[in-house]
Structure 1
Amino acid sequence: MSNRMCFEGLDRSLRDILSIDDPTLTDLPFGGLVVVLGGDLRQILPVIEGGTRPQVVAATITNSPLWDSVTVLELNENMRLAVPGASVQLQREISLFSDWVLDLGEGKLPPATCGNEVVPNLVDIPDDLLIHTEGDHITTIISAVYPDFASNFQDFSYLRQRAVLSPTNDLAEQINSRVLDMLPCEGREYLSSDSKSSPAGTINEKDLFYPPEVLNAIEIPNFPAHRLFLKEGAPIMLLRNLSQSTGLCNGTRLIILELADRVLKAVIITGSHIGDVVYIPRIELTTKKKTKWPFILLRR
């Protein structure tokens, strides 16, 4: 996901620093150090806000002069799909799914058809990967992912093995709200304290146009909402790097143990710190400078 300029800047810096003692290193990539890059360009590309397709492609590492010095090492076994002790039939189904995912990423699947017209940007998903319903779609997918939820919501291993992915934040909010309603306990609502970042000692006339109610209603991608509703026993995911040494990283999954006024008491259920009890405080977040709003939002 990193812009190629980041690698090129690191390359120039290492050449300058390491060539002080050995001038020959100035001609070697990264000053002669071995640098390991991880990732798959078929899965995600560098993010260029508002960028066009040529701008995104130009930002990839493959378009950098450094790519000529890269040796590509391929991983051929999908470890995420490995199921020790699985039956022969299950292993065969997993192998077929793995091959289908690779063909999808490499663009080898035939295009889908809509009526009599071929749509090159769409593919047909195998029927066994779909959940069919004519009723409430959200309830159906929750029931499929969390079967017998009422009897297993306190089982950490049960929750650790399941998750629902959604394409948009709005849909994620609907799913989260529906799952929270299934927990047999009272919840608690947390509201943020929002303000605008202004130079100290100045009074801006724009403050009159942006009262707290307006700031609270602002929703920005990759930014928390004003209202957060939680229940004890609810599974949550951390979306910020708070403390890597204690396992509080982006993507860490936890279970709420206690809801206090200013902190959340939770237990980690994924990663290398499974079972550790941690406390998550209120933190201050700021929006980026390049937004449609003429100010920087501070949300605590």
Structure 2
Amino acid sequence: MSTFTIPEDASTVQPNVADLNAQQALAYHSVLAFVNSSSAERQNFFFLYGHGGTGKTFLYKALVAHLKELGKVVLVVASSGIAATLLPNASTAHSRFKIPLEIDHTSSCNIRKGTPLAQSIVDAYLIVWDEAPMVHRLSFEAVDRAFCDIMNVPFTGVHYKPFGGKTVLLGGDFRQTLPIVPDSGKEESVDSSLTRSYLWNSCMVLHLSENMRVDSSSANNQLDFHGMNFGRWTLSIGNGTMPARSFKENQPADWVEIPEALLIQTVGSPVQTMATEIYTDFQQRYHNISYLTERSIITPTNRNVTEINAHMLALVPGTGRSYYSSDTLHTDAADSYRIEAEYPTEFLNGLSFNGYPEHNIELKVFTPVMLLRNLNPAIGLCNGTRLMVIYLGHYVIRGIIMGGTFSGKTVAIPRIVLNINDHRWPFVLKRRQFPVRLCYAMTINKSQGQTLQSVGVYLPKPVFSHGQLYVAVSRVRSASGLRLLIINEDGIPSKYTRNIVYQEALADLLDIADVAQVCLVFHNFLF
């Protein structure tokens, strides 16, 4: 079995201030200037806005390292478990700040004054929160109310300061998918964004635009579509500026043409074609962890993910093992006996839910799986962590973490009880199962935070929400590592697909790419 060492990038290299580019250095010194300021009128709320590869993680680490050297307290959180594993001593924001899962306009976090957590917030000189755009604005407002209470700062009025006056640096990319709002449309999705919060009026936006990740080799620059190289092309998709057309009358013009160089043509099974294209020499390399780590197929829906994973599993030699869940009902209804009789165990076993394991999980040794829950972020076991299975036991599954800070670490995954509360059913389903699923393929939403060498984007149906196409095409460093297979409504390969961009979600994020302009903005704040 081969071993894998993650390539050095912004998530693993030790930060050195001398290595910061002009935009990173400007943001670095600006945040520190306000952190060290004793003025009551100082700026305390920042947002670091940059697409993948602009070095946000590297900048966070540089700030944290500097303040830690000075003996100052820094709290580091991220909106996803994957992002948290790339940051020093980080945890997920919801677990660190006790953010309620069910939230409304009056919610606050369950942080009691006098507790160690409350004291760590009081002592913190800086709070870093990565991947902020994927969190509902109500969560930030709940944290704001909690911080104001802990810091004894009025929540409203002339003396109000965001987050109780604590210096907070959020970061991320609003071009990516917005917070998930069940059964919602465009208006609800846009309204859930942080830019629609009352907090946004107090935020200073720091822009990063220089891509430090995309390969600048000649092979990567061969793509020339509408006069753009690969990096600019992906950004034009994220910004919604790619030339688009409409194929039906009274329909939005959001269909974009994909360059021929990126397309896969097929005359047979699309799934088989995609699998062969991305998982080359699979029969010889199916057990190679480096090979599995650097590639994946991504697609919009769980149904397509399941289809691709089943196809790949059948190609792995050896006998697999099936793990069946224990499914029971929990209900407070007065007629609980009737509900239990109406929904027998066999019916419960057949239910599938997004983000939860299936009743029947089929695995083989050397297959890749994705963790579906935060089990122990301190050792890399986060929602979204990928592992290669090396042992299939009755009570435990062992695997090796693929990629990220904890790459190569051997860990054990137990069965756990998951409470599934779906508004479609009059009960809470308690499912005891291993919190994993095969991940030769993953949904586009799950791929956020992943950086791969070879990605196949399988689109039997178009994307259905803001930022999904941008996320899909920006998972790779190079155009040579990206391939798309698009199937139109007639079942025929196509070069056109939808690109959904809610411009309302980007309207408040003026792109200041000129360093001289940014310097002028910060000069006005600093002096």
TM-score with structure 1 length normalisation?
0.89
Match of 1:272 among 405, 415, 435: 405
Q: Distance in 2 between the 1:186 and 1:291 partners?
A: 38
Q: What number of residue pairs does the alignment pair up?
A: 293
Q: Displacement of 1:117 after TM fit?
A: 9.8
Q: Say whether residues 1:55 and 2:55 are aligned partners.
A: no
Q: Displacement of 1:74 after TM fit?
A: 1.8
Q: Report the secondary structure of 1:286's partner residue.
A: strand
- 5+ residue gaps, structure 1, are none
Aligned in 2, Cα 1:25/1:279: closer, same or farther, shift over 3 Å? farther
Partner of 2:172: 39
Q: Say whether residues 1:175 and 2:305 are aligned partners.
A: no
CA contact (8 A) 1:25 1:32 kept: no
Which digits, 9 at most, give the CA deviation of each residue in 1:114-165, with x for residues without a partner?
A: 4999860211111111111111111111111111111111221111111111
Q: Displacement of 1:73 after TM fit?
A: 1.6
Q: Displacement of 1:91 after TM fit?
A: 4.6
Q: Report the secondary structure of 2:290's partner residue.
A: helix
Q: Report the secondary structure of 2:397's partner residue.
A: strand
Q: Displacement of 1:3 after TM fit?
A: 1.9
Q: Say whether residues 1:144 and 2:277 are aligned partners.
A: yes
Q: Distance in 2 between the 1:36 and 1:92 partners?
A: 37
Q: Displacement of 1:19 after TM fit?
A: 3.3
Q: Distance in 2 between the 1:89 and 1:138 partners?
A: 27
Amino acid in structure 1 at the alignment position of 2:385: T
Q: Displacement of 1:275 after TM fit?
A: 1.6
Q: Distance in 2 between the 1:250 and 1:116 partners?
A: 42
Q: Displacement of 1:112 after TM fit?
A: 2.9
Q: Distance in 1 between the 2:401 and 2:261 partners?
A: 33
Q: Say whether residues 1:230 and 2:363 are aligned partners.
A: yes
Deviates further, 49-58 or 171-180: 49-58
Q: Distance in 2 between the 1:116 and 1:13 partners?
A: 50
Q: Distance in 2 between the 1:209 and 1:76 partners?
A: 56
Q: Displacement of 1:168 after TM fit?
A: 1.1
Q: Distance in 2 between the 1:79 and 1:191 partners?
A: 45
**Cα RMSD for the two superposed structures:** 2.6
CA contact (8 A) 1:133 1:140 kept: yes
Q: Distance in 2 between the 1:291 and 1:2 partners?
A: 21
Q: Report the secondary structure of 2:427's partner residue.
A: coil
Deviates further, 174-183 or 48-57: 48-57
Q: Say whether residues 1:208 and 2:338 are aligned partners.
A: no
Q: Displacement of 1:88 after TM fit?
A: 2.7
Q: Report the secondary structure of 2:142's partner residue.
A: helix
Match of 2:326 among 189, 193, 210: 193
Q: Displacement of 1:12 after TM fit?
A: 2.6
Q: Distance in 1 between the 2:167 and 2:140 partners?
A: 13
Q: Displacement of 1:113 after TM fit?
A: 5.2
Query: Which structure's residues are more often strand, by fraction?
Result: 2
Match of 1:13 among 146, 165, 178: 146
Q: Report the secondary structure of 1:19's partner residue.
A: coil
Q: Say whether residues 1:217 and 2:345 are aligned partners.
A: no
Partner of 2:255: 122
Q: Displacement of 1:58 after TM fit?
A: 2.1
Deviates further, 35-44 or 183-192: 35-44
Aligned in 2, Cα 1:115/1:212: closer, same or farther, shift over 3 Å? closer
- Larger relative contact order (C-alpha < 8 A, sep ≥ 6)? 2
Q: Say whether residues 1:296 and 2:416 are aligned partners.
A: no
Q: Distance in 2 between the 1:294 and 1:116 partners?
A: 42
Q: Distance in 2 between the 1:117 and 1:127 partners?
A: 28
Amino acid in structure 2 at the alignment position of 1:112: R
Q: Distance in 1 between the 2:334 and 2:201 partners?
A: 54
Partner of 2:35: none
Partner of 1:90: 220
Which digits, 9 at most, give the CA deviation of each residue in 1:189-214, with x for residues without a partner?
A: 11111010135999622211111111
TM-score with structure 2 length normalisation?
0.52
Q: Distance in 2 between the 1:27 and 1:201 partners?
A: 47
Identity %: 38
Q: Distance in 1 between the 2:384 and 2:215 partners?
A: 21
Amino acid in structure 2 at the alignment position of 1:224: P
Q: Say whether residues 1:248 and 2:378 are aligned partners.
A: no
Q: Displacement of 1:98 after TM fit?
A: 1.4
CA contact (8 A) 1:15 1:26 kept: no
Q: Distance in 2 between the 1:228 and 1:112 partners?
A: 42
Amino acid in structure 1 at the alignment position of 2:337: N
Runs (4 or more) in structure 1 with deviation over 4 Å come to 91-95, 115-119, 199-203
Q: Say whether residues 1:283 and 2:413 are aligned partners.
A: no
CA contact (8 A) 1:19 1:26 kept: no
Amino acid in structure 2 at the alignment position of 1:291: H
Q: Distance in 2 between the 1:6 and 1:117 partners?
A: 37
CA contact (8 A) 1:194 1:212 kept: yes
Q: Report the secondary structure of 1:164's partner residue.
A: strand
Q: Distance in 2 between the 1:89 and 1:181 partners?
A: 34
Deviates further, 258-267 or 4-13: 4-13
Q: Displacement of 1:187 after TM fit?
A: 0.5
Aligned in 2, Cα 1:118/1:199: closer, same or farther, shift over 3 Å? closer
Deviates further, 129-138 or 25-34: 25-34
Aligned in 2, Cα 1:277/1:132: closer, same or farther, shift over 3 Å? same
Amino acid in structure 1 at the alignment position of 2:206: L
Match of 2:236 among 103, 113, 134: 103
Q: Distance in 2 between the 1:130 and 1:63 partners?
A: 37
Q: Distance in 1 between the 2:145 and 2:251 partners?
A: 48
